[in-house]
């Protein structure tokens, strides 16, 4: 059998800290490695496998579309793209859609849209206010938008026009707003920053400020959207509506697909001002349509809410048991456990040995982002493994 880690080291750029396991197959919330060992997957492709691995509705949609039409370019109309755009509009507060291939492309496109709006309606305003600990993607501009110095420092100088302010602090946004500001861009709940929830009134206060100043509110729902936090979109839980929203990750249950959605008033691109070769191709959109339709028809967001509460309760119990667990936080199936010291990697390895895959989102924090179709049984199993893993670390 090949030594895949060695070959990876030889041929692949050194960008990822890999967990030492080579996965070859998945079904539902389970994956198998090359030796046939089974794991319960609470990483879910980094919050991507919303319907789990190889869900039949996604497999069937992709298979049928692959036999029919894979790519045509956006020079032509294609039916899966239009059907998915319609489904997104019918089930959100937004009016228009543009498809990209990834999350970073969606947020970058959203910023371009806001800059275009600034040029047309706000006397050329172009600055976008974002928050510390945010994550908006890995392009150069989205690295500037992402308020985390560790991602920014290797690439200085960064593109201009981004102001990073403290999260959960409306006054900081107000202080950073000038006549050059065209938009505020936020994750409704921060994912990669460690799963940070806003205060209940933060998003409505930011919405009111954007309205007062006539600037746009962009919500990056790439991680929180498509049912992950217990509603189809996180904004529903805060009784606000964004002007622009970005999606990706869970939208096509593993097939790469991102989207920018905008209200009619913010949808100011003219023909030729934005584009993509692959974005919104029939294959990805067929997967997206099958995923989203299933999520809506079967209230998968409701399942994420209920199972998520059960998971959070179980993690709270472990917090009572282990004094080095200092916090449990999250919504739906986006949940984190924080430790008093940087033992995240040891906890991850102790879980791996026992057959549970988890994500170490910060040196002292684990994140749980399983498929949205899991039930309490899988949660019990994961909690049992986590309990044993944490217990092994106390000895
Ligand atoms: C909130 C948010 N925005 C943007 C991105 C970037 O998405 P992608 O990795 O698909 O470019 C991510 C990825 O983790 C994310 O969580």
What pTM value is reported for the model? Answer: 0.98
Please tell me the total number of residues recorded for the chain in this structure. 395
Per residue of the chain (395 residues), what is the pLDDT tens digit? 689 999 999 999 999 999 999 999 999 999 999 999 999 999 999 999 999 999 999 999 999 999 999 999 999 999 999 999 999 999 999 999 999 999 999 999 999 999 999 999 999 999 999 999 999 999 999 999 999 999 999 999 999 999 999 999 999 999 999 999 999 999 999 999 999 999 999 999 999 999 999 999 999 999 999 999 999 999 999 999 999 999 999 999 999 999 999 999 999 999 999 999 999 999 999 999 999 999 999 999 999 999 999 999 999 999 999 999 999 999 999 999 999 999 999 999 999 999 999 999 999 999 999 999 999 999 999 999 999 999 999 76
Residue 46 CA: which ligand 1 atom is closest? 14
Tell how far the Cα of 182 is from the centroid of ligand 1, in angstroms. Answer: 22
Ligand 1 pocket, Cβ-based, cut-off 6 angstroms: 102-104, 107, 135-137, 187, 191-192, 220, 222-223, 248
pLDDT at position 395, please?
Answer: 60
Closest CA to 259 of 133, 89, 57, 65: 89
Residue 102 CA: which ligand 1 atom is closest? 10
**Cα within 13 Å of Cα(327), Cβ side:** 15
Residue whose Cα lies nearest atom 16 of ligand 1: it is 223
The preferred substitution site among 102, 104, 235 for testing ligand 1, maximizing ligand atoms within 8 Å of CB, is 104
pLDDT at position 57, please?
Answer: 98
Please list, in sequence order, all residues whose beta carbon lies within 8 angstroms of the beta carbon of residue 377, skipping any fewer than 6 positions away: none
The preferred substitution site among 194, 233, 249 for testing ligand 1, maximizing ligand atoms within 8 Å of CB, is 249
Active site residue 313: no
The preferred substitution site among 43, 107, 251 for testing ligand 1, maximizing ligand atoms within 8 Å of CB, is 107
pLDDT at position 2, please?
Answer: 87
Alpha carbon separation from 393 to 386, 388, 390 (Å, rounded):
11, 9, 5
């Amino acid at each position: 059998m090949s030594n895949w880690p060695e070959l990876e080291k030889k041929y692949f750029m050194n960008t990822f800290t890999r967990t030492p396991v080579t996965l070859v197959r998945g079904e539902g919330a389970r994956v198998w490695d090359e030796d046939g060992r089974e794991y319960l997957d609470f990483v879910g492709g980094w919050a991507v496998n919303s319907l789990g691995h190889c869900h039949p509705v996604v497999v069937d949609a992709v298979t049928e579309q692959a036999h029919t039409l894979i790519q045509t370019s956006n020079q032509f109309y294609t039916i899966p793209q239009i059907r998915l755009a319609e489904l997104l509009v019918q089930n959100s507060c937004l009016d228009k859609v543009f498809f990209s291939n990834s999350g970073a492309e969606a947020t970058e496109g959203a910023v371009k849209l806001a800059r275009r709006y600034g040029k047309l309606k706000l006397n050329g305003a172009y600055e976008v206010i974002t928050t510390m600990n945010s994550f908006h993607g890995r392009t150069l501009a989205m690295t500037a938008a992402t308020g985390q110095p560790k991602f920014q420092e290797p690439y200085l100088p960064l593109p201009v026009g981004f102001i990073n302010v403290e999260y959960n602090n409306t006054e900081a946004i107000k202080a950073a707003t000038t006549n050059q500001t065209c938009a505020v861009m936020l994750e409704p709940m921060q994912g990669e920053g460690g799963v940070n929830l806003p205060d209940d009134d933060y998003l409505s206060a930011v919405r009111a400020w954007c309205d007062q100043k006539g600037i746009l509110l962009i919500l990056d729902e790439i991680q929180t959207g498509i049912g992950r936090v217990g509603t189809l979109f996180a904004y529903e839980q805060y009784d606000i509506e964004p002007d622009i929203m970005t999606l990706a990750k869970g939208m096509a249950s593993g097939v790469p697909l991102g989207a920018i959605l905008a209200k009619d008033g913010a949808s100011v691109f003219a023909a030729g001002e934005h584009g993509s070769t692959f974005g919104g191709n029939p294959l990805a959109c067929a997967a997206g349509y099958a995923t989203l339709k299933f999520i809506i028809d079967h209230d998968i967001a409701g399942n994420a809410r209920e199972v998520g509460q059960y998971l959070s309760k179980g993690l709270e119990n472990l917090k009572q048991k282990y004094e080095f667990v200092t916090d449990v936080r999250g919504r739906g199936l986006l949940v984190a456990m924080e430790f008093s010291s940087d033992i995240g990697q040891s906890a991850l390895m102790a879980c791996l040995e026992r057959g549970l895959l988890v994500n170490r989102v910060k040196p002292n924090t684990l994140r749980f982002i399983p498929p949205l179709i899991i039930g309490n049984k899988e949660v019990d199993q994961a909690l049992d493994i986590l309990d044993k893993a944490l217990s092994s670390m106390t000895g």
